[in-house]
A and B are shown apart, each in its own frame.
Chain A
Amino acid sequence: KAGVTQTPRYLIKTRGQQVTLSCSPISGHRSVSWYQQTPGQGLQFLFEYFSETQRNKGNFPGRFSGRQFSNSRSEMNVSTLELGDSALYLCASTSSGASQETQYFGPGTRLLVL
């Protein structure tokens, strides 16, 4: 079974631009969660989608948004990029998103904002 895939793997943008990242979960998984990892703040939860609905959201500004499609693939968008948005963005999938399920992580998208 193929693992979680994320595209692109690397991205360079300038301040003020917007970016869209994509995550394809493991086949059959309906929950996708997004995380941001920075050296200063570590790993932080962004949001979780299940069956095309945002089910949970972390403490990030409205510039961070996401969506999920009927095939469970998910995208996250960051508008008006700031230098501090430079980070590794990870997504993870589970079958139902229950807290007692193992999360399967993608390889991440490394975003650099100049």
Chain B
Amino acid sequence: KNEVEQSPQNLTAQEGEFITINCSYSVGISALHWLQQHPGGGIVSLFMLSSGKKKHGRLIATINIQEKHSSLHITASHPRDSAVYICAVSWFDEKLTFGTGTRLTIIP
């Protein structure tokens, strides 16, 4: 069965800390997406990865295809980063399968 696992489920940190959220999947994928969901429900796509590393501002996403693992890092975290971060993968049938999400809370 194709599965996606995220850790941790919940993460609370002080402002300024370096944050890491992990995502593992069971079989080879065509792409992995990192999504951000704020309390209102809207989802924003942060990154789409099929290999290597991508950076956007304070956010960095990496993927290790051999180990079937991806990480999302946030440097110099800020309270506005508080949200649910969701990993989603697409296998070769192209539909997205989602992880359960990581609820991040950054305390000022």
Contact = CB atoms under 8 A, between A and B. Distances in A.
B43 interface: yes
Given A90-B43, A100-B31, A103-B33, A43 B95 contact: no
Contacts of A108: 41-43
Interface residues of B, number: 26
Interface in A69-107: 88, 90, 92, 97-107
Interface in A30-76: 33, 35, 37, 42-45, 48, 56, 58
Interface in B3-43: 30-31, 33, 35, 40-43
Interface stretch (B61-69, B71-79, B85-93): B85-93
B41 A42 contact: no
Given A43-B88, A56-B95, A99-B90, A107 B41 contact: yes
A99 B30 contact: yes
Interface residues of A, number: 26
Which of B35, B94, B98, B99 has the most chain A CB within a 10 Å cutoff? B94
B83 interface: no
A99 B94 contact: yes
10 tightest CB-CB pairs across the interface, nearest first?
A99-B90, A43-B98, A105-B43, A99-B30, A99-B94, A100-B31, A45-B95, A99-B31, A108-B41, A56-B95
23 contacts: A33-B95, A33-B96, A37-B41, A42-B98, A42-B101, A43-B86, A43-B88, A44-B98, A45-B95, A45-B96, A48-B94, A88-B41, A90-B43, A97-B94, A99-B91, A100-B31, A100-B90, A103-B33, A103-B45, A105-B43, A107-B41, A107-B42, A110-B41
Interface of B: 30-31, 33, 35, 40-45, 48, 50, 86, 88, 90-101
Interface of A: 33, 35, 37, 42-45, 48, 56, 58, 88, 90, 92, 97-108, 110
